[in-house]
Amino acid sequence: MSTEFENMKAYIAFGETDVTHIRALAEELSSAVPDIVARFYEAITQHDELNAFFSGGATQLAHQRTLLTSWLSELFSGPYDDSYYQKRRRIGEAHVRVGLEQRHMFLGIELIWQGIIRNLISPASTTTRTQLTSLHKLLMLDLSVILESYKEHYTARVQEDARATIEEKLTRAEHLAEIGQLAAALAHEIKNPLAGISGAIQIIREGMAENDEHRPIITEILGQIHRLDATVKDLLQYARPVPPRLHSIRLHEVVDRVLSILRAEPAVKRVRIRYNPPSQGVVLQADEAKIEQLLINLILNAAHASEESGIVDVETSSNNGDVLLCIHDVGEGMTEEVRNRALEAFYTTKARGTGLGLPICRRIVEQHGGTISLDSQVGQGTTVTVTLPVTAGDQTST
């Protein structure tokens, strides 16, 4: 017999006398089992969170009633040996498998106890207090075995999930590293020829008359070259991140400068950007150029997501040694799936996007030892919250 089960029984002094008491009650309770089972499922099916476990409908409920009836029969008759112990352990394992929380096991045992008492405490009953005490001991033994098994199997499940998550992250990191190396090589090979093409096209345009019918085409070509150049820069920056060079900066001054730079951007010109710097300027240790790029990317994203004449709010503040930067728009918002993947490299829903804007932002934030989070609802807009420590060591991430 399981040593663990024997130790449990010894801990609460459950012995042969208790077994005798329970078997004496078995005769009186045998006819009450259907009533106990019926009342048990009547009680738990009144709760929506538990009804979710009976998606199989009447067939599944009937099966569960059969299992509980069998469990009660074994409870009253024994024998309380290793086979009994292993069956109780399998209940805990099954509860982990279906996702039933531990609190429901406590409450379930209490419902069964109430059902037993209801049938035993009556004028005609010969039940004694010592017999009830023995039965209560056995119920606590059952609960202990079920919970112990639940804990073991739940821990194993968590470890397995964690291992799978780590393996997935490692695989993804390897893939991203390979993609990054490839992107860097391609970007390097493209950058110089692209600059040459751009210079040549500009010379051709300068030699054209102002009213030349081909001039708009040349201008469009230059626009496309500019877009390709921006993509190449993103690829190079993501593939070869440069560690931040930290020094004291005033965040509100950086925000003001970025807003001035972006004033001529078409996406920004069509919206209204509101920024009220805090009365006391926010100062932190950071790489000013990287924070500037972070702001540019986030504000442009918010402007692109907004409707004509929409409002984009920029807020900066300090809280308990951290600096908070929030960019909020009331634009189209994101679905949960998009929000969950928005910070992944190369993931984009835009027809002309590299999927590197937000990942670069995340890298900048993480290099400064901070965090970035997205809160978004479709049709209601998006809020990006960046938290940075006031004093940050070099937190360079690969």
Q: What is the DSSP string of 228-246?
A: HHHHHHHHHHHHSPPPP--
Instruction: Report d(CA 182, CA 179) in Å as an integer.
Output: 5
Residue 396 falls inside a structural domain: no
Residue 340 domain boundaries:
247-389
> Of 157 and 327, which is predicted with more confidence?
327
Instruction: Say yes or no to pLDDT of 158 above 90.
Output: no
User: Across-strand partners of 319?
Assistant: 322
| Confidence category of residue 210, pLDDT binned at 50, 70, 90 | confident
Q: What is the C-alpha to C-alpha distance for residues 277 and 317, in angstroms, rounded to an integer?
A: 8
What's the Cα-to-Cα distance from 282 to each of 23, 257, 385, rounded to whole Å? 75, 15, 16
3-state secondary structure of 382: strand
Per-residue model confidence (pLDDT) at position 393: 46
Other residues' Cβ atoms within 10 Å of the Cβ of residue 206: 8
Residues 86 and 158 in one domain: yes
CATH number at residue 85: 1.10.490.10
pLDDT at 178 over 60: yes
Whether residue 74 is contained in a domain is answered as yes
Is residue 158 a part of any domain in this protein? Answer: yes
Residue 18 reports pLDDT greater than 70: yes
- Find the CATH number of the domain harbouring 294: 3.30.565.10
pLDDT above 50 (res 68): yes
Residue matched to tokens 């010592």: 130
Asked whether residue 129 falls in the same domain as residue 274, the answer is no
124 and 10 fall within a common domain: yes
Domain identity same for 69 and 114: yes
Most confident listed range (45-59, 118-132, 357-371): 357-371
Structure confidence by residue, pLDDT tens digits, 285-319: 999 988 998 999 899 989 988 988 899 999 998 88
Pair 98, 230 in one domain: no
Task: Look at residue 16 in the predicted model and tell me its pLDDT.
Answer: 93
Structure tokens at 191: 């950058």
Residue 48 lies in a domain: yes
pLDDT (mean) for 173-190? 64
The vertex-396 CA angle with 395 and 398, nearest 5°, equals 140
Q: Are residues 274 and 204 in the same domain?
A: no
Domain boundary among 164, 186, 208: 164
Residue 394 lies in a domain: no
Q: Say if residues 290 and 364 touch (Cβ distance below 8 Å).
A: yes
CB burial readout 17-56, b (16+ within 10 A) else e: ebeebbeebbebbeeebeebbebbbeebeeeeebeebbee
Q: Looking at residue 382, what is its pLDDT? A: 93
The pLDDT, as a whole number, for residue 397 is 40
pLDDT at 202: 85
∠ CA 338-372-344, rounded to 5°: 40
Same domain, 130 and 190: no
Same domain for 289 and 210, yes or no, is no
Mean pLDDT of the chain: 83
- Domain count of the chain? 3
For the chain, give the percent of residues with pLDDT over 70. Answer: 85
Domain-terminating residue out of 239, 262, 289: 239
Domain boundary, last residue among 192, 220, 239: 239
* In a shared domain, residues 31 and 153: yes
